[in-house]
Chains A and B, each alone.
Chain A
Amino acid sequence: DTEVTQTPKHLVMGMTNKKSLKCEQHMGHRAMYWYKQKAKKPPELMFVYSYEKLSINESVPSRFSPECPNSSLLNLHLHALQPEDSALYLCASSQDKLAGATYEQYFGPGTRLTVT
């Protein structure tokens, strides 16, 4: 099973709203990622969690707040977003190097976010 699930599939929110995106994997992967993707562009890395600890923050504005409650779950809390934050938000997971992995990342279907 190489499935990564994400909810919701679509989200429309106002600039004053607070919402959360959720991601789940049951592959035993210990690295999880958040990406932002604009239309016809490659995904842009936002955050990386390794063993439930934040290891990379790609200078993402504080209105995006990630959280990793356990090894299977990853959340992205959203607050006071701007219209330019509208995009497809992708979650991915991969094994850790110690497991002899080839760093293959498996992506979820994404959340289409629209900020009005």
Chain B
Amino acid sequence: TQLLEQSPQFLSIQEGENLTVYCNSSSVFSSLQWYRQEPGEGPVLLVTVVTGGEVKKLKRLTFQFGDARKDSSLHITAAQPGDTGLYLCAGVFTDRGSTLGRLYFGRGTQLTVWP
């Protein structure tokens, strides 16, 4: 069972276009993280959202966390070839009695931006 549904799975666009990636769950997460991964490398943390309704910006990237903390989106404005990569959302659900927040990943969105 996939706790996090991420869409679209693949996205191929031209330089300068805008795009949005969605991450949805039926569960409430204590926080949600977005990562970007290039081939052969580890995921790099882009942002963590914690508060329902929160909006964070990172240059041309805008991240939103839903009011109910069950969904999130990543919007890229004026995409560039350097944005190409695998984008992963990952939600944290706090196990009861545990000091760890297990990270549940979405399937990922493979973004290709053509010059």
The distance in angstroms between the C-alpha atoms of A88 and B90, with both chains bound, is 18
* A43 B100 Cβ-Cβ under 8 A: no
A103 B99 Cβ-Cβ under 8 A: no
Residues of B within 8 A of A102 (CB): 31, 48, 50, 92
By the criterion CB–CB under 8 Å, are A103 and B106 in contact? no
**B42 surroundings in chain A (CB, below 8 A):** 4, 6, 90, 92, 107-110
Which of B90, B103, B110 has the largest count of A CB atoms less than 10 A from its CB?
A: B103
On A, residues with C-beta under 8 Å from B are 2, 4, 6, 31, 40-43, 45, 48, 50, 55-56, 88, 90, 92, 94, 96-98, 101-110, 112
**Closest residue of chain B to A42, judged by CB?**
B105
Nearest-CB distance from B90 to chain A (Å)?
8
- Specify which chain A residues have a CB less than 8 angstroms from the CB of B98 in the assembled complex: 55, 97
Top 9 A-B pairs, shortest CB-CB distance = A103-B101, A107-B42, A42-B105, A103-B92, A97-B99, A110-B42, A109-B42, A107-B43, A102-B31
Q: On chain B, which size bracket covers the interface?
A: 20 to 34
Indicate if the CB atoms of B101 and A97 lie closer than 8 Å: yes
A selection of 20 A-B contacts at a CB cut-off of 8 Å is A40-B86, A40-B108, A41-B108, A42-B90, A42-B105, A42-B106, A42-B108, A43-B105, A48-B102, A56-B100, A92-B42, A94-B101, A102-B31, A102-B48, A102-B92, A103-B30, A103-B92, A105-B45, A106-B45, A107-B44
In this assembly, does B75 line the interface, its C-beta being within 8 Å of a C-beta of chain A?
no
Q: Are A42 and B94 in contact (CB under 8 A)?
A: no
**A interface footprint on B10-32 (CB within 8 Å = 1, 0 otherwise):** 00000000000000000000110
